[in-house]
A and B are shown apart, each in its own frame.
Chain A
Amino acid sequence: MIFDLIVILAFVAVGLKIVFPAPLSKILRINPRLALGASIFLVLLYSLTLLYLVILEPFSLTLILFTAVSLLVLSLIKRTSADLFFRNGLISLFGLAILASLRLNFLAEVLAVLSFVFLVGGFLSLFYDQNLDL
């Protein structure tokens, strides 16, 4: 139990240090409150829509189109937004580790999906930035 507690605390400390090495405004070059609010809003909107579609219309054309458009939008966002996606992806990954260790598996899965989507979004925007932004 004590070992577990030490590991959790160490994990939280290391995670926070890594995710927030400097003020958000410096990293994102935008207003930190705006960045946080916008990302939370987008995450909620995106995840709710995705869950709604998955539950009500799994494997439907709408779901495929939604995802395709999402990916396209993600890929068209510029470099600075890649950082935003990466940060959100890492925060979600960090959160999923905590939730999973607390046996909240469903919430961990939701965060895993979000983390994956954000990381893919970040990758695509960075890929666009490095290769397609001619």
Chain B
Amino acid sequence: MFGRLGENLGSFYLSHRAWLVFWLVLIALELLHLKILFGGASYLAGGDNYTYLLLGRQKMYPYLWDNYYPFGVKSFTLPNLFGFQLYSQLFPFLSGPVLERIIIFGLIFLKFVAFVKLARLLSGKNGSWLLLPPILFLTFNAFASLNPFNYYQLLYSAYLPIFLYYFIKIFESPIFDLPDIVKITLWSVLASPVNANPALSATVFIPPALYLLVNFKKITPSVLKRLFLLAGLWLIVNLWWLWPLLNYFLSVSGEIINKDNWFTATSVGSLWQNFRLIGQWGWYGRHFLHAYYPFSTYYDQIGVMLLTFLIIFLSFYEATRHQAGDWLKRTHLYLLGLSLLGLFLVSGARLPFGFFYQLLFNYFPGFRIFREPFTKFSEIYALSVSLLFYLFLVSVFLKESRRLRLIIWIACLGTVAVVIKPAYLASGVVDYWNGSVRTARVEIPSYWEEFSRFAQENLSGQRILTTPRVAYGNAWNWPKGFSSGDDLAAVFTSPSVNVLRAPLTTGSVEEQAVEGFFKVAEEPAPASKYLALLGVVGVLQENDLDWRYNSFAADPIKMQTGLKKFLRPEISFGLFSQGYLDRIPNGDPNPYVRQELRAKLLGRPALTYYALPVEKALAKIYAPRAVVTSEDFSLEKAPALLALGETQAGDLYLSQKVPLTVNSSTQKSQLVSTTSAEVLAERVSLEVPVSLQFRQINPTRYSVTIRGAPRQYLLAFLERFDRDWKIYGQTQPGLIKSVDEKNHFLANGFANAWLIDVENFGGVESQDFTIEYRAQRYSFLIFPALLVGFGSTYLIFRSLRSRKYKL
């Protein structure tokens, strides 16, 4: 048996020797790149890539109510289900750092494979070594150096050629190509996390659309049938994330997207730089002590500049040459068109055709998501130029003498080596101290892991607030790392604990809530009432957050003094000892700022969790004893009301009068401002059930048991208000109905409350209710995706078995 196996392997090696060596070289090159990229650190993370710290600790979260966001939110990130969540679930035996290495290597390797397949398909040639220069150029060009380890960018850049490859195969196939249709659909599911960034994922359809346009004379009824089947299947298996995403954009963020005050970079850069894949808004910019991209000057050296243009020139030269044969003609025309279309999109609103872009940007619904065209469209341009570069090498190989073609290949490889140097050597990875920017090569301090364990065990299902106020792009004082786009507490407690924080200033309700807390934090009584109103059970003080580079944040001593007035420290994690502080980089040129770190941190814990006394905290679901009604109530107005002695911790705050009909008239009082004698609100006492118990079944479903209910009462539910939150009860035996939407109120400025009339539920005093996020009922849509996943895996294995020992 072993003899035969050896024989087979031997013949396989002989027939595929060139390819085997080629792939081994690529793997070795990528492993070396990976080693340089990580630089010996455990994690590579920082800025928007802070999510890598979730690896290994995240669980599958298939719910349409996203608990990661403060107060929860209608989910638009369901595509992430098949990303880090799935990897963490499938490989619980792998640590986060190992998983991150596997993911980055896997995605770059996938990009290699996809490019090879696409290049071979388009050229009709089988040259392995000719692929090396274009592959390296595609993977490590100037654009790729900007974001060298971003998960979405890596996934997208692998998915783009895969999608195009299968699309062209299906289009050009003389037969009904069902296996390829299934494979492309499977890839769409595997690459679904990229859809968490819709501006990026939408561009995947641009190259196939242009292919149809360039080849529209070839569209026959048979091709149309295949394309319709592909579109239909794609839609069915992707509906599970597509539907909530569209739902979210249509209902919540449509107005946000169309806001004029978002950062836009449609007119940044210059076309001559775009030609060589340079044009990001911060390319020549600086922050504090360092340039954003210190290696940008490398690309401006005269020799490097000419060599970068040489590749572009050769690609366009190849595209514009006369070609023999219909297939090559069409391929060249298509790739030329794709390069020019990519360049047009990358250029945004600039000359020479930018006004078309500007028109689309101003008037085409949804086009505003492309507010940073360079980062969204450059991969399309890079892919088409790399394919043309490959075709150039193929034509050299076919026409020139053996000696000359070797010289040209070596020259091209040398040129590429010069061009890719910064990206390959990971110059784009920040590895220095720069104020609020810290090294992306990260080691997580053990106290965060300890806090994570504490939170999972003791705070599951609860809401906490973090101090000091976190801003987008904050730095944490760690020996190795760390800058983050979001609060680390959310990363280390997700998804079981809801963390109230507001890193972005968008006027959101969570921002109002956080601002409100810092307003009332000086006064103990309103502060604890305010936390209760928000459904918060405790506060995490992050002493390791570098307050010096955040104008919103107070220093640890000031924060601790304020919090201790009304909260008791329950547990602390980590300690800023002399030795530990020595290990934390602290490079501010101003000695006063530098010394402040030691002065404010020495001897203090890194994290302290303060618990709100149990008697002052509110459960997520409760029946309020009084309702305070104030016109246009919002969280901004809450501190003024809470400062009044008449309000109690369990009161519910509404901006509209509740149609109470029973036992309320005698218990009304008016809340009057102590300074201006103005009537601020009306407080009405309510009857409450004798007992209320609830259980969280999952983040979208709660069961509530009421005993001894009065004829009418309010039920508060401290998750973000959403019309899809419904409460169901039994109206008569066997008949379950929800409370009418007119009795569903916005409470406490962010939450839900329902007015329950016992008569509507059979008049019984004991009732079982279910609170449910109705949209979750559509989660069954995930099944077609899973079905296609299993089906196509079977098909792929079957086809591999029938093509034994073939690459």
Contacts and interface: CB of A to CB of B under 8 A. Distances in A.
B340 A100 contact: no
Nearest to B326: A130
A126 B337 CA distance: 10
B272 A108 contact: yes
Interface in A79-134: 83, 86, 89-90, 93-94, 96-98, 100-102, 105, 108-109, 111-113, 115-117, 119-120, 122-123, 126-127, 130-131
Interface string A2-13: 011001100100
A105 B306 contact: no
A112 B275 contact: yes
Contact of A119 (B301, B303, B336): B336
B337 A127 contact: yes
A93 B313 contact: yes
B320 interface: yes
A25 interface: no
B214 interface: yes
B654 interface: no
Contact of A113 (B312, B352, B355): B352
A48 interface: no
A18 B319 CA distance: 13
A126 B309 contact: no
Nearest to A70: B352
Interface string A33-56: 000000000000000001000100
Contacts of A113: 271, 351-352
Contacts of B314: 18
Given A18-B317, A100-B305, A130 B333 contact: yes
Given A93-B275, A96-B272, A67 B309 contact: no
A89 B316 CA distance: 9
A4 B303 contact: yes
B95 interface: no
Interface in B283-326: 301-303, 305-307, 309-310, 312-314, 316-317, 320, 322
B333 A123 contact: yes
B358 interface: yes
Contacts of A119: 316, 320, 336, 340
Contacts of B352: 50, 67, 113, 116-117
Interface string B500-524: 0000000000000000000000000
B330 interface: yes
Contacts of A116: 271, 340, 343-344, 347, 352-353
A90 B333 contact: no
Contacts of B217: 131
B2 interface: no
B270 interface: yes
30 contacts: A4-B301, A8-B303, A11-B306, A11-B309, A11-B310, A14-B310, A59-B355, A67-B353, A67-B355, A86-B320, A89-B316, A89-B320, A90-B316, A93-B275, A97-B305, A98-B306, A101-B309, A102-B302, A109-B272, A109-B351, A111-B272, A116-B347, A116-B352, A116-B353, A120-B344, A120-B353, A123-B337, A126-B333, A127-B214, A131-B217
The 6 A-B pairs at the shortest CB distance, nearest first, are namely A97-B309, A86-B320, A112-B272, A112-B271, A7-B303, A108-B272
Given A59-B355, A119-B320, 5 more contacts: A50-B351, A54-B351, A90-B313, A105-B272, A122-B320
